[in-house]
Amino acid sequence: MPDYIVIEDLLVRAILGIKPEERVNRQDVVINVRLETNTRKAALSDNIEDAVNYRTLTKEIIQLAEKSEFLLVERMAEEIAGLCLRREKVRRVWIDVRKPGALRFARSVGVSIERSRDDGN
């Protein structure tokens, strides 16, 4: 049975979109991440070396998002998935990237993807 690490509602400011104003003005982007892993070894040892260091990973996701200038939410989600899967302890990842207020009458719009090591990442 797999275990999961969940990073919820990570708020970053990024250049993301195809409209001219989106290419100049940073906007809020909300990222959710779910990592499939095995936490048993870390739980038994109580040693960070046996765990997925989600603090370090979160910093890398923030850096990727804030320095990016992606046109599409799909591209940002794919890049975040690849970043997560570079960790040997992560087997599968679910990424959700949302742009709050991007559509009139909608709280947010976004993309949710699932990727695994078997996908060639």
Instruction: Provide the annotated active-site residues.
Output: 99
- The 3-state DSSP class for residue 23 equals helix
Whether residue 79 contacts residue 115, with contact meaning beta carbons closer than 8 Å, is answered with no
Whether residue 84 contacts residue 58, with contact meaning beta carbons closer than 8 Å, is answered with no
* Residue positions counted in the chain: 121
Q: Give the Cα separation of 106 and 88 in Å (integer).
A: 37
